[in-house]
Structure 1
Amino acid sequence: MSRFFYITTTLPYVNAEPHIGFAMEVIRADVMARWKRAQGFEVFFNTGTDERGAKIFEAAKKAGQEPQTYVDEAAKKFQALIPLLNLSEPNFIRTTDSHHIKAAREFWKICAKNGHIYKKPYKIKYCVGCELEKTDSELVDGKCPLHPTREIEEIEEENYFFKFSAFQKPLLDFYEKKPDFVVPDFRFNEIKSFVKRGLEDFSISRLKEKMPWGIEVPDDSEHTMYVWFDALVNYISAIGWPDDLERFKKWQIDSGGMVQYCGKDNLRQQSAMWQAMLMA
Protein backbone atom coordinates (compact mmCIF):
# COMPACT_ATOMS: atom_id res chain seq x y z
CA MET A 1 0.00 0.00 0.00
CA SER A 2 1.26 3.47 -0.91
CA ARG A 3 2.16 5.63 2.07
CA PHE A 4 2.12 8.92 0.15
CA PHE A 5 -0.84 11.29 0.08
CA TYR A 6 -1.16 14.45 -2.02
CA ILE A 7 -3.97 16.92 -1.40
CA THR A 8 -4.42 20.37 -2.94
CA THR A 9 -6.88 23.20 -2.68
CA THR A 10 -7.78 25.37 -5.64
CA LEU A 11 -5.77 28.58 -5.92
CA PRO A 12 -7.77 31.72 -5.08
CA TYR A 13 -7.54 34.80 -7.26
CA VAL A 14 -5.77 37.68 -5.51
CA ASN A 15 -8.02 40.41 -6.92
CA ALA A 16 -9.85 40.60 -3.57
CA GLU A 17 -9.13 40.11 0.12
CA PRO A 18 -9.04 36.54 1.53
CA HIS A 19 -12.57 35.55 2.51
CA ILE A 20 -14.34 32.98 4.69
CA GLY A 21 -15.15 30.71 1.73
CA PHE A 22 -11.49 30.07 0.98
CA ALA A 23 -10.69 29.73 4.68
CA MET A 24 -13.28 26.94 4.84
CA GLU A 25 -11.74 25.21 1.82
CA VAL A 26 -8.18 25.31 3.08
CA ILE A 27 -9.12 24.28 6.65
CA ARG A 28 -11.05 21.28 5.38
CA ALA A 29 -8.10 20.25 3.21
CA ASP A 30 -5.84 20.67 6.23
CA VAL A 31 -8.08 18.34 8.25
CA MET A 32 -7.56 15.69 5.56
CA ALA A 33 -3.79 16.29 5.57
CA ARG A 34 -3.60 15.94 9.37
CA TRP A 35 -5.76 12.81 9.31
CA LYS A 36 -3.50 11.15 6.76
CA ARG A 37 -0.37 12.07 8.71
CA ALA A 38 -1.96 10.55 11.82
CA GLN A 39 -2.41 7.33 9.82
CA GLY A 40 1.29 7.28 9.01
CA PHE A 41 1.22 8.77 5.51
CA GLU A 42 3.84 11.15 4.19
CA VAL A 43 1.70 14.10 3.07
CA PHE A 44 2.12 16.85 0.49
CA PHE A 45 -0.45 19.58 1.14
CA ASN A 46 -0.60 22.24 -1.59
CA THR A 47 -2.23 25.65 -1.66
CA GLY A 48 -1.24 29.06 -3.03
CA THR A 49 -2.42 31.94 -5.20
CA ASP A 50 -3.62 32.38 -8.79
CA GLU A 51 -2.06 35.68 -9.88
CA ARG A 52 -2.83 36.18 -13.57
CA GLY A 53 -5.79 36.99 -15.78
CA ALA A 54 -8.18 39.84 -16.48
CA LYS A 55 -9.50 40.16 -12.92
CA ILE A 56 -5.98 40.64 -11.56
CA PHE A 57 -4.97 43.06 -14.30
CA GLU A 58 -8.17 45.04 -13.72
CA ALA A 59 -7.67 45.14 -9.93
CA ALA A 60 -4.04 46.29 -10.28
CA LYS A 61 -5.05 49.13 -12.61
CA LYS A 62 -7.78 50.17 -10.19
CA ALA A 63 -5.21 50.23 -7.36
CA GLY A 64 -2.79 52.27 -9.50
CA GLN A 65 -0.10 49.59 -9.29
CA GLU A 66 1.96 47.47 -11.64
CA PRO A 67 0.49 43.93 -11.72
CA GLN A 68 3.60 42.32 -10.22
CA THR A 69 3.66 44.77 -7.32
CA TYR A 70 -0.05 44.22 -6.77
CA VAL A 71 0.19 40.41 -6.68
CA ASP A 72 3.30 40.46 -4.47
CA GLU A 73 1.39 42.44 -1.84
CA ALA A 74 -1.78 40.38 -2.25
CA ALA A 75 0.03 37.03 -1.97
CA LYS A 76 1.41 38.04 1.45
CA LYS A 77 -2.17 38.33 2.74
CA PHE A 78 -2.91 34.77 1.69
CA GLN A 79 0.39 33.48 3.06
CA ALA A 80 -0.54 35.10 6.37
CA LEU A 81 -3.46 32.67 6.60
CA ILE A 82 -1.05 29.78 7.28
CA PRO A 83 -0.26 30.77 10.89
CA LEU A 84 -3.61 32.54 11.38
CA LEU A 85 -5.59 29.38 10.55
CA ASN A 86 -2.98 27.09 12.10
CA LEU A 87 -2.47 25.20 8.83
CA SER A 88 -0.10 22.25 8.98
CA GLU A 89 2.95 22.50 6.76
CA PRO A 90 1.36 23.50 3.43
CA ASN A 91 3.34 24.11 0.27
CA PHE A 92 2.49 27.60 -1.01
CA ILE A 93 2.77 28.03 -4.78
CA ARG A 94 2.30 31.26 -6.74
CA THR A 95 1.50 31.20 -10.46
CA THR A 96 4.13 33.93 -10.92
CA ASP A 97 6.86 31.59 -9.59
CA SER A 98 9.56 31.04 -12.22
CA HIS A 99 9.29 27.24 -11.96
CA HIS A 100 5.54 27.38 -12.54
CA ILE A 101 5.96 29.64 -15.58
CA LYS A 102 8.41 27.14 -17.09
CA ALA A 103 6.01 24.26 -16.36
CA ALA A 104 3.02 26.04 -17.92
CA ARG A 105 4.97 26.74 -21.11
CA GLU A 106 6.21 23.14 -21.30
CA PHE A 107 2.67 21.82 -20.73
CA TRP A 108 1.45 24.02 -23.62
CA LYS A 109 4.21 22.75 -25.91
CA ILE A 110 3.31 19.10 -25.24
CA CYS A 111 -0.41 19.65 -25.84
CA ALA A 112 0.37 21.57 -29.05
CA LYS A 113 2.76 18.87 -30.25
CA ASN A 114 0.03 16.28 -29.66
CA GLY A 115 -2.36 18.26 -31.85
CA HIS A 116 -4.73 19.54 -29.16
CA ILE A 117 -4.17 23.29 -29.61
CA TYR A 118 -5.14 25.36 -32.64
CA LYS A 119 -5.76 29.01 -33.55
CA LYS A 120 -8.94 30.60 -34.89
CA PRO A 121 -10.91 33.86 -34.85
CA TYR A 122 -13.91 33.80 -32.55
CA LYS A 123 -16.58 35.84 -30.81
CA ILE A 124 -17.90 34.94 -27.38
CA LYS A 125 -19.71 36.24 -24.33
CA TYR A 126 -17.37 36.17 -21.36
CA CYS A 127 -17.73 36.57 -17.60
CA VAL A 128 -14.55 38.03 -16.15
CA GLY A 129 -15.79 37.11 -12.66
CA CYS A 130 -15.86 33.40 -13.54
CA GLU A 131 -13.04 33.65 -16.10
CA LEU A 132 -15.28 31.48 -18.29
CA GLU A 133 -17.15 31.71 -21.58
CA LYS A 134 -20.94 31.85 -21.21
CA THR A 135 -23.77 30.70 -23.44
CA ASP A 136 -27.08 32.56 -23.55
CA SER A 137 -28.69 29.70 -21.63
CA GLU A 138 -26.28 30.28 -18.73
CA LEU A 139 -27.20 33.97 -18.41
CA VAL A 140 -30.10 35.48 -16.47
CA ASP A 141 -31.33 38.80 -17.89
CA GLY A 142 -28.05 39.03 -19.78
CA LYS A 143 -25.93 38.65 -16.62
CA CYS A 144 -23.96 35.84 -15.05
CA PRO A 145 -26.00 34.58 -12.06
CA LEU A 146 -22.78 34.15 -10.06
CA HIS A 147 -21.61 37.72 -10.78
CA PRO A 148 -24.78 39.75 -11.41
CA THR A 149 -23.05 43.11 -10.83
CA ARG A 150 -20.59 42.55 -13.68
CA GLU A 151 -21.31 43.25 -17.31
CA ILE A 152 -20.84 40.34 -19.69
CA GLU A 153 -18.02 41.11 -22.10
CA GLU A 154 -18.21 40.31 -25.80
CA ILE A 155 -14.79 39.33 -27.09
CA GLU A 156 -13.95 39.13 -30.76
CA GLU A 157 -10.36 38.30 -31.73
CA GLU A 158 -8.07 35.51 -32.89
CA ASN A 159 -7.08 33.15 -30.05
CA TYR A 160 -5.62 29.74 -29.42
CA PHE A 161 -8.09 27.03 -28.46
CA PHE A 162 -7.86 23.72 -26.62
CA LYS A 163 -9.66 20.79 -28.29
CA PHE A 164 -11.89 20.04 -25.32
CA SER A 165 -14.51 18.56 -27.66
CA ALA A 166 -12.19 15.64 -28.44
CA PHE A 167 -12.31 14.42 -24.87
CA GLN A 168 -16.00 13.69 -24.34
CA LYS A 169 -15.65 9.91 -24.68
CA PRO A 170 -12.29 9.68 -22.87
CA LEU A 171 -13.74 11.63 -19.94
CA LEU A 172 -16.90 9.53 -19.77
CA ASP A 173 -14.83 6.33 -19.95
CA PHE A 174 -12.60 7.68 -17.18
CA TYR A 175 -15.61 8.51 -14.99
CA GLU A 176 -16.96 4.99 -15.56
CA LYS A 177 -13.72 3.46 -14.31
CA LYS A 178 -13.55 5.83 -11.30
CA PRO A 179 -17.02 5.72 -9.68
CA ASP A 180 -15.86 7.75 -6.68
CA PHE A 181 -13.86 10.31 -8.68
CA VAL A 182 -16.06 13.21 -7.50
CA VAL A 183 -17.79 13.29 -4.13
CA PRO A 184 -20.54 13.89 -3.18
CA ASP A 185 -22.16 11.72 -5.84
CA PHE A 186 -24.73 14.31 -6.91
CA ARG A 187 -21.88 16.59 -8.00
CA PHE A 188 -20.39 13.68 -9.93
CA ASN A 189 -23.74 13.19 -11.68
CA GLU A 190 -23.72 16.91 -12.46
CA ILE A 191 -20.36 16.84 -14.22
CA LYS A 192 -21.18 13.61 -16.07
CA SER A 193 -24.37 15.22 -17.37
CA PHE A 194 -22.38 18.28 -18.45
CA VAL A 195 -19.92 16.15 -20.42
CA LYS A 196 -22.67 13.99 -21.95
CA ARG A 197 -24.32 17.11 -23.42
CA GLY A 198 -21.23 17.65 -25.56
CA LEU A 199 -18.09 19.72 -25.05
CA GLU A 200 -16.97 22.88 -26.82
CA ASP A 201 -13.36 23.85 -27.38
CA PHE A 202 -12.32 26.71 -25.11
CA SER A 203 -10.04 29.68 -25.61
CA ILE A 204 -6.66 29.48 -23.87
CA SER A 205 -4.99 32.72 -24.98
CA ARG A 206 -5.51 36.46 -25.26
CA LEU A 207 -3.85 39.06 -27.47
CA LYS A 208 -0.93 40.46 -25.49
CA GLU A 209 -1.77 44.03 -26.51
CA LYS A 210 -5.16 43.67 -24.78
CA MET A 211 -4.20 41.44 -21.84
CA PRO A 212 -0.45 41.65 -21.18
CA TRP A 213 -0.59 40.17 -17.67
CA GLY A 214 -0.06 36.54 -18.59
CA ILE A 215 2.59 33.97 -19.50
CA GLU A 216 3.76 34.40 -23.08
CA VAL A 217 2.58 31.65 -25.42
CA PRO A 218 5.50 29.52 -26.67
CA ASP A 219 6.57 30.58 -30.17
CA ASP A 220 4.03 33.42 -30.35
CA SER A 221 4.96 36.64 -28.55
CA GLU A 222 1.68 38.30 -29.57
CA HIS A 223 -0.38 36.06 -27.26
CA THR A 224 -0.46 35.33 -23.54
CA MET A 225 -1.83 32.17 -21.95
CA TYR A 226 -5.23 32.61 -20.44
CA VAL A 227 -6.09 31.54 -16.90
CA TRP A 228 -6.95 27.85 -17.04
CA PHE A 229 -4.07 26.73 -19.21
CA ASP A 230 -1.77 28.48 -16.77
CA ALA A 231 -3.27 28.16 -13.29
CA LEU A 232 -4.36 24.51 -13.36
CA VAL A 233 -0.81 23.40 -14.18
CA ASN A 234 0.19 24.42 -10.63
CA TYR A 235 -1.03 21.05 -9.37
CA ILE A 236 1.86 19.35 -11.14
CA SER A 237 4.42 22.17 -11.13
CA ALA A 238 4.10 22.17 -7.31
CA ILE A 239 5.37 18.59 -7.20
CA GLY A 240 8.36 19.10 -9.47
CA TRP A 241 7.09 18.64 -13.03
CA PRO A 242 8.77 18.87 -15.52
CA ASP A 243 12.24 19.12 -13.95
CA ASP A 244 12.05 16.63 -11.07
CA LEU A 245 10.23 13.62 -12.50
CA GLU A 246 11.16 11.39 -9.57
CA ARG A 247 9.40 13.78 -7.19
CA PHE A 248 6.48 14.10 -9.59
CA LYS A 249 6.15 10.30 -9.78
CA LYS A 250 6.17 10.03 -5.99
CA TRP A 251 3.29 12.44 -5.45
CA GLN A 252 1.23 11.99 -8.61
CA ILE A 253 1.74 8.33 -9.48
CA ASP A 254 2.89 6.42 -6.40
CA SER A 255 0.38 8.23 -4.17
CA GLY A 256 -2.50 7.05 -6.35
CA GLY A 257 -3.08 10.57 -7.66
CA MET A 258 -3.79 13.95 -6.17
CA VAL A 259 -6.87 14.63 -4.08
CA GLN A 260 -8.45 17.94 -5.06
CA TYR A 261 -10.57 19.89 -2.59
CA CYS A 262 -12.69 22.54 -4.29
CA GLY A 263 -15.97 24.42 -4.11
CA LYS A 264 -18.94 23.66 -6.35
CA ASP A 265 -18.17 26.61 -8.65
CA ASN A 266 -14.90 24.90 -9.61
CA LEU A 267 -16.46 21.55 -10.51
CA ARG A 268 -16.25 21.97 -14.29
CA GLN A 269 -12.70 23.30 -14.27
CA GLN A 270 -11.22 20.67 -11.96
CA SER A 271 -13.12 17.50 -12.88
CA ALA A 272 -13.48 17.99 -16.65
CA MET A 273 -11.24 20.72 -18.10
CA TRP A 274 -8.15 19.83 -16.08
CA GLN A 275 -8.64 16.09 -16.58
CA ALA A 276 -8.87 16.59 -20.36
CA MET A 277 -5.73 18.72 -20.26
CA LEU A 278 -3.88 15.93 -18.47
CA MET A 279 -5.08 13.43 -21.07
CA ALA A 280 -3.83 15.76 -23.82
Structure 2
Amino acid sequence: MERVIGVIGGSGVYEIDGLKDAAWQQVHTPWGTPSDALLCGELDGVKMVFLPRHGRGHVHTPSTVPYRANIDALKRLGVTDVVSVSACGSFREEMAPGDFVIVDQFIDRTVARDNSFFGSGCVAHVSLAHPVCATLSALCLQAAQNEGVTVHMGGTYLAMEGPQFSCIAESRMYRDSWGCDVIGMTNMPEARLIREAEMCYASVAMVTDYDSWHPEHGAVQISDILKTLGGNSANARGLVARLPALLGAQHAPCTQGCDQALEHAVMTAPEKRDPELLAKLDAVAGRVLGGV
Protein backbone atom coordinates (compact mmCIF):
# COMPACT_ATOMS: atom_id res chain seq x y z
CA MET A 1 0.00 0.00 0.00
CA GLU A 2 1.03 3.61 -0.47
CA ARG A 3 2.99 5.11 2.41
CA VAL A 4 1.94 8.43 3.90
CA ILE A 5 4.16 9.83 6.65
CA GLY A 6 2.44 11.84 9.36
CA VAL A 7 4.47 14.20 11.53
CA ILE A 8 3.07 15.62 14.75
CA GLY A 9 5.21 18.44 16.03
CA GLY A 10 5.58 21.97 17.22
CA SER A 11 6.11 25.22 15.38
CA GLY A 12 8.79 25.07 12.72
CA VAL A 13 8.87 21.30 12.31
CA TYR A 14 6.47 21.40 9.35
CA GLU A 15 8.57 23.97 7.48
CA ILE A 16 10.44 21.39 5.44
CA ASP A 17 12.53 22.55 2.49
CA GLY A 18 11.54 20.85 -0.74
CA LEU A 19 7.99 19.91 0.27
CA LYS A 20 6.11 19.86 -3.04
CA ASP A 21 2.51 20.91 -3.59
CA ALA A 22 2.24 21.97 0.05
CA ALA A 23 -1.27 23.00 1.05
CA TRP A 24 -3.10 23.39 4.35
CA GLN A 25 -6.18 21.21 4.51
CA GLN A 26 -9.07 21.38 6.97
CA VAL A 27 -10.25 17.94 8.10
CA HIS A 28 -13.57 17.35 9.82
CA THR A 29 -13.81 14.45 12.26
CA PRO A 30 -16.59 12.99 14.43
CA TRP A 31 -14.33 13.64 17.41
CA GLY A 32 -14.27 17.38 16.93
CA THR A 33 -11.89 19.82 15.29
CA PRO A 34 -8.17 18.95 15.13
CA SER A 35 -5.58 21.27 16.64
CA ASP A 36 -5.19 23.02 13.29
CA ALA A 37 -5.41 22.48 9.57
CA LEU A 38 -2.98 19.83 8.33
CA LEU A 39 -0.17 20.63 5.89
CA CYS A 40 -0.15 18.07 3.08
CA GLY A 41 2.58 17.69 0.48
CA GLU A 42 5.15 15.36 -1.02
CA LEU A 43 8.87 14.95 -0.37
CA ASP A 44 11.18 12.66 -2.35
CA GLY A 45 8.17 10.95 -3.90
CA VAL A 46 6.51 10.17 -0.54
CA LYS A 47 3.33 11.82 0.67
CA MET A 48 3.60 13.65 3.99
CA VAL A 49 1.12 15.22 6.39
CA PHE A 50 2.16 17.68 9.11
CA LEU A 51 0.02 18.46 12.13
CA PRO A 52 0.89 21.27 14.58
CA ARG A 53 0.10 19.54 17.90
CA HIS A 54 -0.70 22.72 19.80
CA GLY A 55 -1.99 24.62 16.76
CA ARG A 56 -0.10 27.40 15.03
CA GLY A 57 0.62 30.05 17.61
CA HIS A 58 0.51 27.43 20.42
CA VAL A 59 -3.16 27.79 21.36
CA HIS A 60 -3.71 24.40 23.05
CA THR A 61 -2.35 23.31 26.41
CA PRO A 62 -1.14 19.69 26.68
CA SER A 63 -4.47 18.85 28.33
CA THR A 64 -6.68 20.57 25.74
CA VAL A 65 -4.99 19.18 22.63
CA PRO A 66 -7.83 17.35 20.79
CA TYR A 67 -5.92 14.09 20.58
CA ARG A 68 -8.73 11.94 19.19
CA ALA A 69 -9.58 14.46 16.48
CA ASN A 70 -5.90 14.77 15.55
CA ILE A 71 -5.33 11.04 15.15
CA ASP A 72 -8.63 10.51 13.35
CA ALA A 73 -7.70 13.30 10.92
CA LEU A 74 -4.33 11.69 10.16
CA LYS A 75 -6.04 8.35 9.55
CA ARG A 76 -8.60 9.96 7.21
CA LEU A 77 -5.75 11.41 5.16
CA GLY A 78 -4.28 7.94 4.67
CA VAL A 79 -1.35 8.24 7.06
CA THR A 80 0.41 4.92 7.67
CA ASP A 81 3.38 6.02 9.80
CA VAL A 82 3.33 8.69 12.51
CA VAL A 83 6.46 10.37 13.85
CA SER A 84 5.91 12.41 17.00
CA VAL A 85 8.42 15.19 17.64
CA SER A 86 8.20 16.80 21.07
CA ALA A 87 10.20 18.63 23.71
CA CYS A 88 11.10 16.84 26.93
CA GLY A 89 13.05 17.13 30.16
CA SER A 90 15.81 14.65 30.96
CA PHE A 91 16.38 12.54 34.06
CA ARG A 92 19.76 11.30 32.83
CA GLU A 93 23.02 13.23 32.86
CA GLU A 94 24.05 11.64 29.59
CA MET A 95 20.80 12.72 27.89
CA ALA A 96 21.79 16.36 27.74
CA PRO A 97 19.89 19.39 26.45
CA GLY A 98 20.08 19.34 22.66
CA ASP A 99 20.14 15.53 22.48
CA PHE A 100 17.34 13.45 20.96
CA VAL A 101 15.88 10.31 22.56
CA ILE A 102 14.00 7.67 20.55
CA VAL A 103 11.44 6.68 23.17
CA ASP A 104 10.35 3.04 23.47
CA GLN A 105 8.28 2.94 26.68
CA PHE A 106 5.85 5.19 28.54
CA ILE A 107 4.48 5.70 32.03
CA ASP A 108 1.20 7.56 31.77
CA ARG A 109 0.41 10.00 34.57
CA THR A 110 -2.19 12.00 32.66
CA VAL A 111 -5.65 12.14 34.21
CA ALA A 112 -7.78 14.62 32.25
CA ARG A 113 -7.74 13.33 28.67
CA ASP A 114 -9.89 11.06 26.51
CA ASN A 115 -7.53 8.15 25.91
CA SER A 116 -9.52 5.79 23.67
CA PHE A 117 -11.73 5.85 20.60
CA PHE A 118 -13.70 2.95 22.06
CA GLY A 119 -16.12 2.81 24.97
CA SER A 120 -19.56 1.70 26.07
CA GLY A 121 -21.28 0.22 23.03
CA CYS A 122 -18.07 -0.92 21.37
CA VAL A 123 -15.35 -2.16 23.70
CA ALA A 124 -11.83 -2.89 22.44
CA HIS A 125 -8.53 -3.77 24.10
CA VAL A 126 -5.28 -3.32 22.16
CA SER A 127 -1.82 -4.38 23.28
CA LEU A 128 0.59 -1.65 24.38
CA ALA A 129 3.40 -3.90 25.61
CA HIS A 130 5.54 -2.42 22.84
CA PRO A 131 3.92 1.00 22.32
CA VAL A 132 6.15 2.18 19.48
CA CYS A 133 7.00 0.60 16.15
CA ALA A 134 10.52 -0.84 16.33
CA THR A 135 11.07 -0.53 12.57
CA LEU A 136 9.96 3.10 12.34
CA SER A 137 11.91 3.98 15.49
CA ALA A 138 15.10 2.45 14.08
CA LEU A 139 14.75 4.53 10.93
CA CYS A 140 14.23 7.68 13.01
CA LEU A 141 17.47 6.79 14.82
CA GLN A 142 19.26 6.44 11.49
CA ALA A 143 17.85 9.75 10.25
CA ALA A 144 19.01 11.51 13.41
CA GLN A 145 22.48 10.00 13.13
CA ASN A 146 22.70 11.00 9.47
CA GLU A 147 21.73 14.52 10.49
CA GLY A 148 24.60 14.59 13.00
CA VAL A 149 22.39 14.74 16.08
CA THR A 150 23.46 13.17 19.37
CA VAL A 151 20.69 10.60 19.74
CA HIS A 152 19.92 7.88 22.29
CA MET A 153 18.04 4.74 21.28
CA GLY A 154 15.47 3.69 23.86
CA GLY A 155 14.11 5.43 26.91
CA THR A 156 11.07 5.55 29.17
CA TYR A 157 8.94 8.69 28.82
CA LEU A 158 6.96 9.88 31.84
CA ALA A 159 3.81 11.58 30.52
CA MET A 160 2.61 14.15 33.05
CA GLU A 161 -0.61 16.14 32.95
CA GLY A 162 0.92 19.61 33.30
CA PRO A 163 0.80 22.41 32.41
CA GLN A 164 3.09 23.09 35.37
CA PHE A 165 6.52 21.48 35.49
CA SER A 166 7.46 18.93 38.16
CA CYS A 167 8.35 19.80 41.72
CA ILE A 168 11.68 18.44 42.96
CA ALA A 169 10.10 15.54 44.89
CA GLU A 170 8.21 14.36 41.79
CA SER A 171 11.27 14.73 39.59
CA ARG A 172 13.41 12.67 41.96
CA MET A 173 10.73 9.98 42.27
CA TYR A 174 10.32 9.63 38.50
CA ARG A 175 14.09 9.41 38.09
CA ASP A 176 15.27 7.37 41.07
CA SER A 177 12.31 5.17 42.03
CA TRP A 178 10.51 4.74 38.72
CA GLY A 179 13.52 4.61 36.43
CA CYS A 180 12.20 7.07 33.86
CA ASP A 181 14.57 8.69 31.37
CA VAL A 182 12.65 11.70 30.04
CA ILE A 183 9.49 13.61 30.91
CA GLY A 184 6.94 15.38 28.74
CA MET A 185 3.28 16.31 28.52
CA THR A 186 2.03 15.21 25.10
CA ASN A 187 2.96 11.63 24.10
CA MET A 188 -0.04 10.26 25.98
CA PRO A 189 -2.74 9.52 24.98
CA GLU A 190 -1.18 10.08 21.56
CA ALA A 191 0.58 6.69 21.54
CA ARG A 192 -2.53 4.86 22.75
CA LEU A 193 -4.78 6.36 20.09
CA ILE A 194 -2.33 5.76 17.26
CA ARG A 195 -2.14 2.09 18.22
CA GLU A 196 -5.96 1.89 18.18
CA ALA A 197 -5.93 3.54 14.75
CA GLU A 198 -3.53 0.86 13.46
CA MET A 199 -0.71 3.18 12.44
CA CYS A 200 3.01 2.72 13.09
CA TYR A 201 4.30 5.18 15.70
CA ALA A 202 7.70 6.54 16.69
CA SER A 203 8.44 9.15 19.34
CA VAL A 204 11.40 11.50 18.95
CA ALA A 205 11.87 13.38 22.23
CA MET A 206 14.08 16.47 22.07
CA VAL A 207 15.78 17.24 25.38
CA THR A 208 15.51 20.88 26.45
CA ASP A 209 16.40 20.71 30.18
CA TYR A 210 17.14 18.49 33.19
CA ASP A 211 13.70 18.89 34.78
CA SER A 212 14.18 19.84 38.46
CA TRP A 213 16.16 16.90 39.89
CA HIS A 214 19.60 18.13 38.80
CA PRO A 215 21.39 19.92 41.68
CA GLU A 216 23.44 22.11 39.33
CA HIS A 217 20.68 23.25 36.99
CA GLY A 218 17.90 24.41 39.31
CA ALA A 219 14.27 24.88 38.32
CA VAL A 220 13.05 24.59 34.74
CA GLN A 221 12.91 28.03 33.11
CA ILE A 222 10.82 28.50 29.98
CA SER A 223 13.37 31.00 28.64
CA ASP A 224 16.09 28.33 28.73
CA ILE A 225 13.79 25.82 27.06
CA LEU A 226 13.02 28.22 24.22
CA LYS A 227 16.73 28.80 23.60
CA THR A 228 17.37 25.06 23.24
CA LEU A 229 14.24 24.53 21.16
CA GLY A 230 15.62 26.70 18.38
CA GLY A 231 18.49 24.34 17.67
CA ASN A 232 16.34 21.28 18.32
CA SER A 233 13.73 22.40 15.77
CA ALA A 234 16.37 22.81 13.07
CA ASN A 235 17.71 19.32 13.79
CA ALA A 236 14.17 17.90 13.85
CA ARG A 237 13.45 19.39 10.43
CA GLY A 238 16.59 17.74 9.12
CA LEU A 239 15.61 14.40 10.64
CA VAL A 240 12.10 14.56 9.17
CA ALA A 241 13.43 15.56 5.75
CA ARG A 242 15.55 12.38 5.66
CA LEU A 243 12.67 10.01 6.45
CA PRO A 244 11.06 9.66 2.99
CA ALA A 245 14.29 8.37 1.43
CA LEU A 246 14.74 5.89 4.27
CA LEU A 247 11.13 4.69 4.40
CA GLY A 248 10.24 4.62 0.70
CA ALA A 249 6.93 5.20 -1.03
CA GLN A 250 5.42 1.80 -0.29
CA HIS A 251 4.32 0.65 3.17
CA ALA A 252 4.88 -3.08 3.63
CA PRO A 253 2.90 -4.94 6.33
CA CYS A 254 4.32 -4.03 9.73
CA THR A 255 6.41 -6.88 11.13
CA GLN A 256 5.33 -5.85 14.64
CA GLY A 257 1.66 -5.87 13.70
CA CYS A 258 0.95 -2.18 14.34
CA ASP A 259 -1.30 -2.10 11.27
CA GLN A 260 -3.28 -5.10 12.60
CA ALA A 261 -3.67 -3.96 16.22
CA LEU A 262 -7.48 -4.26 16.17
CA GLU A 263 -7.56 -7.71 14.58
CA HIS A 264 -8.80 -9.46 17.74
CA ALA A 265 -9.33 -6.42 19.96
CA VAL A 266 -13.05 -5.65 19.61
CA MET A 267 -14.95 -7.51 22.34
CA THR A 268 -18.55 -6.31 21.95
CA ALA A 269 -20.86 -8.69 20.09
CA PRO A 270 -21.96 -7.28 16.71
CA GLU A 271 -25.63 -7.15 17.71
CA LYS A 272 -24.76 -5.20 20.87
CA ARG A 273 -22.67 -2.51 19.22
CA ASP A 274 -23.83 1.09 19.43
CA PRO A 275 -24.55 2.39 15.89
CA GLU A 276 -23.73 5.96 16.89
CA LEU A 277 -20.29 4.99 18.16
CA LEU A 278 -19.69 2.74 15.17
CA ALA A 279 -20.33 5.67 12.86
CA LYS A 280 -17.63 7.66 14.66
CA LEU A 281 -15.19 4.77 14.27
CA ASP A 282 -15.42 4.66 10.48
CA ALA A 283 -11.87 5.91 9.89
CA VAL A 284 -9.91 4.36 12.75
CA ALA A 285 -11.64 0.96 12.90
CA GLY A 286 -13.53 0.51 9.64
CA ARG A 287 -11.18 -2.29 8.62
CA VAL A 288 -12.40 -4.56 11.44
CA LEU A 289 -15.94 -3.25 11.78
CA GLY A 290 -17.06 -4.08 8.31
CA GLY A 291 -16.35 -0.77 6.65
CA VAL A 292 -18.82 1.22 8.77
- Does TM, scored on the shorter chain, surpass 0.5? no
**TM-score, with length taken from structure 1:** 0.30
**TM-score, with length taken from structure 2:** 0.29
